[in-house]
A and B are shown apart, each in its own frame.
Chain A
């Protein structure tokens, strides 16, 4: 994986600072460091982007103590996949039928949770515009280790139908560590169920270590993300 990433570093596009900037993007006023007056009259200095968030980046979490316990945990993680209920693109419409009686993903242990704190699978369903990528990164970084990412549809693989768009990214694993791609435009719900089954096999084999990959190559991922998200007003690591 490391030399795969190095090969990718070589073919990065040129720095876009050569193109003229029509206007600068200032940070929003409420995020600047400043001095405020508290309700009880004190004057304090605050720095919103630093004060509330973790200063350190993500760390690699080693698996549990012995192999047999880690196998037990991996088996439980595979049988209990909690998807974050964030429909990032057009593929969200293919996830809804899975909640209905016809396809019923609940019998595979899959549930949808509304909060990234409780979810351990993020499904990027379809094209990912730059605006959504910023929110998806924020949601992904709030999830707990171990976490998995599944890319749905051909837009996450190579840009798909929007390959010449000014607003969608073309290769999802430059920005988030992806465990599995499901091809299609859009894949049918049966294809999604098959994909989740493959993901379970992957997790049970111990290969679902996307969060650790993210932590190891954090600077590379962050540089890629900042290159396309021009108005970065978040901390570097939103835990």
Chain B
């Protein structure tokens, strides 16, 4: 049943996650910069960018769909966050999770990119179609192992509700899905690299790629919405991963630590590799990640 008290609690969760996301994304960029022997952006840079983009005095819209693109993206991020429990077992921070929210999480992970595609097509930029088709093909192929891993986990625990999956992993580190179903976790972590849009899979978002794909025409408030989403979405996705595969978090410090470590996994891979082309990354996912997911389902 729906209680009105959930709304301020969810907003509190959202507030904590937005701030943590902004600081963490900047921290990860600083870590990447330190690998390249430089200092990198200041830790508060995301806040400056956000205020600056809101403070731009003019903006240009190309139509309704253009306006809705960032809105869809942000909806995807916030929706993903609010429909999975952030802190397991806590009344305040379980958000709006319910039975069956696993399928909803799968849906929301993909929702943002779709919205982006629709919005960018309206932007009037002649090359946006190239960027969108590349982005969608890469995200689709990266999503496939994740879907397989999720099905494997759902079959293993016989439930589609994330709080129950987290409950089954409590009681010690050996109960984590990481150890009870390692193939599913391997497939999902490979898919994680793809959906984090870091090297080697960042050709879609890289600024040097002509014309930086879908976000080309987005500016001022639209870009502020998208940058906010870029702070929320990784955290929300990592929360799903954490709940499904790594035992969930029972307190905020454990939450911060686990999210940091899972994000750091993608940064470890990211700072050491150059980019793949889109067809190379699609091929990589189909050859390496999908068989692991299939094995996970077969073996469960």
Contacts and interface: CB of A to CB of B under 8 A. Distances in A.
A115 B57 contact: no
A117 B51 CA distance: 17
Contacts of A216: none
B198 to A, nearest CB: 17
A144 B218 CA distance: 11
Nearest to B217: A117
B55 A118 contact: no
Interface stretch (B17-25, B33-41, B149-157, B281-289): B33-41
B60 A239 contact: yes
A27 interface: no
Given A80-B49, A117-B60, 13 more contacts: A61-B57, A73-B52, A76-B47, A104-B40, A106-B40, A109-B42, A114-B208, A114-B212, A117-B217, A118-B215, A120-B56, A144-B58, A145-B57
Interface string B75-91: 00000000000000000
A115 B55 contact: no
Contact of A73 (B33, B47, B51): B51
A147 to B, nearest CB: 9
A144 B56 contact: yes
A118 B218 contact: yes
Contacts of A63: 57
Contacts of B219: 117-118, 144
Contacts of A106: 33, 38-41
Contact of B217 (A79, A107, A115, A239): A115
Interface in B209-242: 210-212, 215-220, 223
A5 B56 CA distance: 27
Q: Which 3 A-B pairs have the closest CB atoms?
A: A73-B55, A76-B51, A101-B38
Contact of B40 (A107, A144, A146): A107
Interface of A is mostly: loop
B48 interface: yes
Contact of A117 (B49, B52, B216): B216
Nearest to A108: B42
Contacts of B57: 61, 63-64, 144-146
Given A80-B48, A101-B38, A146 B207 contact: no
Interface string A46-74: 00000000000000010110000000110
Contacts of B158: none
A117 B223 CA distance: 10
Contacts of B47: 76
Given A101-B38, A106-B40, A109-B48, A114 B55 contact: no
Contacts, number: 85
Interface string A109-126: 100111101101000000
B208 A72 contact: no
A183 B47 CA distance: 33
Contacts of B60: 117, 144, 239
B64 interface: no
Contacts of B55: 64, 72-73, 76-77
Given A79-B48, A114-B207, A104 B216 contact: no
Contact of B58 (A104, A115, A145): A145
B38 A104 contact: yes
18 contacts: A61-B57, A73-B51, A76-B49, A76-B51, A79-B45, A79-B52, A80-B49, A104-B38, A106-B41, A107-B40, A114-B207, A117-B216, A117-B219, A118-B215, A120-B52, A120-B56, A144-B220, A145-B57
A168 B106 CA distance: 57
A63 B237 CA distance: 39
Nearest to B39: A107
A73 B50 CA distance: 10
A115 B216 contact: yes
Contact of B37 (A101, A114, A146): A101
B34 to A, nearest CB: 10
Nearest to B38: A101
Contacts of A100: 38
B45 A109 contact: yes
Contacts of A73: 51-52, 55
A158 B219 CA distance: 34
B45 A80 contact: yes
Contacts of B42: 79, 107, 109
Given A76-B52, A115-B212, A61 B40 contact: no
Nearest to B123: A117
Contacts of A144: 56-60, 219-220
Contacts of B216: 114-115, 117
